[in-house]
Amino acid sequence: MARQDPLVFLPPMLCDARVFAPQLAELSRDRAVTVAPVHGAERVEEIASSLLDVLPSRFAVAGMGFGGVVALELLRRAEARVTRIALMSCSAMAETPDEAAAREPRLIAAKMGRLPDVIVEELPRTALAETEASSQILSLVRQMGADLGPEAYVRQARAMQRRKDQSATLRNMTRPVLLLTGEADPIVPPKRLEFLSELVVGSALAVIPQAGHLPTLEQPVATTDALREWLGAPLALR
């Protein structure tokens, strides 16, 4: 049986533990599972540093979107403590100048009290696969974003603008790596994860059918199954 190291979930931008609710309910039966906040600073390095002060000495980490960016920085800083890593709906590359510039109007809008509009722009309906649950998921995301507030959004957006390319960090990982994406994700298209999986020897790629940018909520059973398989993989892959 694989070592039952604690599992740490890191949520995407404008989201909290509720984005992982189905996985928390299922996976917590077998191991200690927690969700760590990722909105405390304007640099990914600062967020990772603060988390390492409180996380267990060894842990598995699963990051989604912005949470995946933080997970990669945890791996870069403390590879010996990270027993396995899962990246969901996340790219390991830095933002392009155009992508970073496109965030500026949303930053201004958030500071001016228009956070609901910003949330819709960050996660439009087209970011999700069209299912019966789409409207409910979008409503939940908007509630999570409102609960976190504009200051948290501004810090996360600034951190995204300044993030580093972590492809080399992930490529050097010798323990289980899961790259998970929704087949209909327009924000981080599956091709990006497929390309990354070719760079990371021994990594597992899971493309979730009928899911977009939030597979944990759109297709919770398939996502949880992929995570469970990753958690059960042998620690040494190469």
Q: What angle do CA 175, 181, 182 make, to 5 degrees?
A: 155
- Quickly list DSSP for 120-144: HHHS-GGGS---TTHHHHHHHHHHH
Residue for token pair 């956070």: 115
Q: Write the burial class of residue 14 (CB in 10 Å: 0-12 exposed, 13-18 middle, 19+ buried).
A: buried
Threshold 0.75, pTM exceeds = yes
Spell out the domains of the chain, with CATH numbers in brackets. 7-231 (3.40.50.1820)
Q: Are 187 and 89 in contact (CB under 8 A)?
A: yes
Tell whether the model's pLDDT for residue 87 goes beyond 70: yes
What mean pLDDT, rounded, does the chain reach? 95
Give per-residue pLDDT as tens, 93-126.
999 999 999 999 999 999 999 999 999 999 999 9
Phi-psi category of residue 43: left, alpha or beta, with phi > 0 → left and psi -120 to 50 → alpha: beta
105-117 in b/e burial notation, b at 16+ Cβ within 10 A? Answer: ebbebbeeeebee
- What pLDDT sits at residue 3? 54
Give per-residue pLDDT as tens, 171-211.
888 899 999 999 999 999 999 999 999 989 889 999 999 99
